[in-house]
Structure 1
Amino acid sequence: MMKPAQRGSPERIYGMDVWRGALLTAGLIVHCAALSDITAFNMIEDASHLCRMEAFFTISGFFAALTIGKAEPADWIRHRLVMLLVPLAVGLAAAVPLSHLLIADLAKQPGFMGDYLPWQPSDWHMHMWFLIALALYVPLTFALQAQDRRVEAFGRFAARRPLSTVAALWLAGLGASLAIWAAGKALHVIGLQSIAFLLRQTTYFCFFYALGHAAFRVQAVRDLLLSPPRAVYAIAVLLAILDLAAVAVIADGKLRMLIFFVARPIVGFAVTSLVFRSAFSLRHCHKWQADLSNASYTIYLLHVPAILGLLWLLYPTGIGPWQAMAVIAPVALLILYYFHLLVVRRSSLLLLLLNGRRKATRKTVTAR
């Protein structure tokens, strides 16, 4: 079996853990921005959709390659599915029904639909879609693990033609997005919007997951992530500006979506590159960074009912969208952060239900 890249691959890369936690936690801010149809809020959402989960899935693929080589296949699958599917089941059984109740009651409040988006309760289970995607990537992980020659060949190509490699990823992401977008329209017609969304997300992000897997195993791929051609950053900046400008000024939804699909793969790669460079340069992890990373799973799983619950409490005071963003985002983050630190991590049952981990054997980020 091919050996993983050696340079810069210690047993624990604290920066990767810190960034994985930060990228998950940032979802709370993004979904606070989804409260209203204000242009600035739409731009926050769009900026996140351009790059946040690309970096997250690349890190996930990197860690999958790291961990799969340390365990028996059956043990790795069991651990992986427990970590993903137990919190998913809890979220669907508890967080989603609570979110439905809160949004249904909020929608009855006078003027609510004028100030805030008419959220559809059925949509809010989809903030946990990444757990389904990662579960579906379990067989992909084994398939990638078995492809030593192809992964090595990809590494050699990346070393010789770095710009062409990034262009290939860009075209693959764009092609997948357009193809699944077209297929998704048929699913929308028959009322399967959630399936269309899952199909689009899991198909697109598998390229970044595979990139992260290859980056752990082949030094040339990691070098490409850490030091891509400068033209990649320049193109990414230009397309990001174009995409955000489109959100602000273009009314045609199809044209905006096309611009987004064109921009997303290259912007996602460029930001992922910066994330990896930051992660590998981090030599020390502060306690608050470690705690936030370890709490991020809990925060993400529960943040939607937390946001809605705080809005339900504050809306009668006449709070507007800007004030709601300024108040609800930090308050929800602090509540869930301390809930994890003071309650979840001290309870074996809650740690299993909300994080899919067993207290006696869990690995956490350790501050230095």
Structure 2
Amino acid sequence: MRDRKVPAPAEHYHHMDALRASFMLLGVFVHASSLGHDPIFNGIAHASALFRMEDFFLISGFLSAMLVGKYGPGRTVRRRLASVGIPLLCAGLLLNPAAIWLSYNFHNDPDVSFLDYLHGRTIADPVGELRWHLHLWFLVVLLPYALITPAAVSLLTRLAPHSLFRRATTGRLRTMTTITLLTLSGVVVVRGTHKALLDPVFAGTLLDYPAEQTMEYLPFFLLGMLLYLERDRVLPSFQRPAPVLLAVSASGLLAGSRGWIGVLASNNGRLLCETVFTVALTATFFALAGRFINGPRPVVRYLADASYTVYLFHYFWIYVIATLLGFDSGARWPQMLLVAFLTFGVTFAIHHFVILRSRVLRGVFNGKFPIRTRSSRRAAGVHQPAAATVAPDPSYMSGAPTLPLRRVTAGSGGPAFPTVTDAPTMPLRIDI
């Protein structure tokens, strides 16, 4: 049976572009902190752990629900699996083994060759981040999320019109209270489910950490879906500053971390405080981004696209650069900052001068593949007039191509980057 395509609105969520790019680029500083033990970079990593990945998956849920409305459930699942799975497979096979070896040598024994490392000729109990997925675990998590997307959208579509939910989300105070309680309930349920059912199955296996993270961030993925489905009513109430909730939850976190209040110092108490703080901070981020990024900006679009390449390649280059510069595991913030900026330079260059110039590489590393519609198949092989253009996708965040900072046209000394007027098919971008 063919998927029914439900018309989706034509909003452009430009502030989500900006947020997603910012969170991805922040990952470079977070992983540069793994070079040593520095209070400044450790602080960046700790602060990131309070919101960055939660917001990644919230935005991913928002965009996943949007894609179901645009393409139908079946096509959405197929495209998401391809746009997530292929970059995961390629980056995991081509980059991660070398990155893990470099990390091992940096933190342990610098004389182990790559082949010796692959054959397990290493010291016992090495230190450093040596798990097979490294920073790509979030792509592993997105695969089951893609599979459950149609069912989750169907379930939330039934919940949203319910009179009880509508009354509970009338007004700012009720909306934030309901969202916070739903998120807290979801966190408690999925953590308990993982501990009781999944941990005995996956503990000690290669999927141990991804399975744990899949359950940990599921409430935020579902929250993102709910915000999209209720974008006309709940989303405007959510994406407003929440200074009172932010201050109260931050105070709870501080009291728990200092041991001032015993209940908040427990694992469950800190988890609940962190969840409330994340919800409040996310609402504030959305409000600020929506305030300052309220229209199309080429720089934001470019960074939203390039940040994905930066994220896939950055861990490998962090350790390549640190090794070439002769740093060791006692690196401090000046060395970490230098490595981070050099990593930005190399990875942005890879994106701009390599990835953007190859349709194959855009698919392999950015998850962008041509969307073959019935009309485009009929038009295949038919010469297009030189002046013909293609109307842009109504929602950039779910499928429109990323515009480069400067468009280079044919005959101007460089390759023509893909824009809405360059190709008869629209590339599908990965939405995370």
Pairing 1:137-148 to 2, within 5 Å after superposition:
137-147=145-155, 148=157
1:71-97, Cα deviation, whole Å (9 max, x unpaired): 143322222111100000012111111
* 1:118 positional shift: 2.6
* 1:316 positional shift: 5.3
**How far apart, CA to CA, are the structure 1 residues paired with 2:195 and 2:334?**
35
Whichever residue aligns with residue 36 of structure 1, its letter is G
Out of 195-204 and 151-160, give the one that drifted further: 151-160
**How far apart, CA to CA, are the structure 1 residues paired with 2:195 and 2:25?**
28
Larger-gyration structure (1/2): 2
* 1:186 positional shift: 5.2
* 1:179 positional shift: 5.7
Whichever residue aligns with residue 190 of structure 2, its letter is A
**Larger helix percent:** 1
Partner of 2:304: 293
The reply on whether 1:364 has 2:365 as its aligned counterpart is no
**How far apart, CA to CA, are the structure 2 residues paired with 1:316 and 1:367?**
35
Which of residues 336, 350, 353 in structure 2 aligns to 1:325? 336
Pairing 1:227-306 to 2, within 5 Å after superposition:
227=240, 230-242=243-255, 260-281=270-291, 282-306=293-317
**How far apart, CA to CA, are the structure 1 residues paired with 2:150 and 2:370?**
27
**How far apart, CA to CA, are the structure 2 residues paired with 1:39 and 1:187?**
37
Question: Is the 1:176–1:203 Cα contact (8 Å) retained in structure 2?
Answer: yes
CA change 1:175–1:241 in 2 (3 A) is: farther
Whichever residue aligns with residue 74 of structure 2, its letter is A
Which of residues 216, 221, 227 in structure 2 aligns to 1:204? 216
Whichever residue aligns with residue 85 of structure 2, its letter is L
CA change 1:341–1:259 in 2 (3 A) is: farther
**How far apart, CA to CA, are the structure 1 residues paired with 2:90 and 2:41?**
29
Secondary structure (helix, strand or coil) at the match of 1:227 reads: coil
Pairing 1:53-202 to 2, within 5 Å after superposition:
53-106=53-106, 107-109=108-110, 118-121=127-130, 123=131, 125-147=133-155, 148-153=157-162, 154-159=165-170, 161-162=174-175, 163-177=177-191, 180=194, 191-192=204-205, 194-202=206-214
Whichever residue aligns with residue 158 of structure 2, its letter is R
The reply on whether 1:216 has 2:224 as its aligned counterpart is no
Question: Is the 2:240–2:286 Cα contact (8 Å) retained in structure 1?
Answer: no
**How far apart, CA to CA, are the structure 2 residues paired with 1:53 and 1:108?**
32
Identity of aligned residues (%): 24
CA change 1:30–1:256 in 2 (3 A) is: farther
CA change 1:269–1:209 in 2 (3 A) is: same
Secondary structure (helix, strand or coil) at the match of 2:35 reads: coil
Question: Is the 2:54–2:217 Cα contact (8 Å) retained in structure 1?
Answer: yes
* 1:142 positional shift: 0.6
**How far apart, CA to CA, are the structure 2 residues paired with 1:186 and 1:19?**
36
Secondary structure (helix, strand or coil) at the match of 1:70 reads: helix
Structure 2 gaps, min length 5: 112-125, 373-398, 406-432
* 1:109 positional shift: 4.1
Partner of 1:48: 48
Out of 341-350 and 162-171, give the one that drifted further: 162-171
Question: Is the 2:28–2:315 Cα contact (8 Å) retained in structure 1?
Answer: yes
* 1:146 positional shift: 1.5
**How far apart, CA to CA, are the structure 1 residues paired with 2:340 and 2:170?**
43
